[in-house]
Amino acid sequence: MKINKSLLIWIISLIAISFGILTIKSGGFALFGGEEGKVFARNYIPIVLWFNFIAGFFYVLAGAGLIFNKMWASHLAVVIAIMTIIVFAILGLYIINGTQYEMRTVWAMCVRTSVWVIISAIGIKKLNN
């Protein structure tokens, strides 16, 4: 089955934007939600939480750029993917050193990494053709 180039770009754009909005919402609540936010976040690693919160804004930006077929958005998606991999590795170092963490953070980073590697690969491939 062959998927139309612009349909695929729209799909990954909407995924990126939705993912960004959800990331901003959950990260913002964990960071700025007072005691409720701290209970929600539980054993978080600040650098991971702050990265994900800030990255959420870039997710939205990349998604919007992809909708308009901007090559810079594909490059931004690649940077997001690379930075996510780096932060995932940092999370691993914290875990190895015995820092308390939430398993949901590990799963979330697996999902984030996979999503952004896929979005960046599709974006580069489709916008270069």
- The reported pLDDT for the residue numbered 61 is 98
Model's pTM, two decimal places? 0.93
Domain ranges for the chain, please list them: 5-128
From first to last of its 129 residues, the chain has per-residue pLDDT tens of 566 778 999 999 999 999 999 999 999 999 999 999 999 999 999 999 999 999 999 999 999 999 999 999 999 999 999 999 999 999 999 999 999 999 999 999 999 999 999 999 999 988 777
Write the CA distances from 40 to 26, 49, 92, integer angstroms: 9, 12, 21
- Cβ-in-10-Å burial (0-12, 13-18, 19+) of 13 comes to buried
- The reported pLDDT for the residue numbered 110 is 98
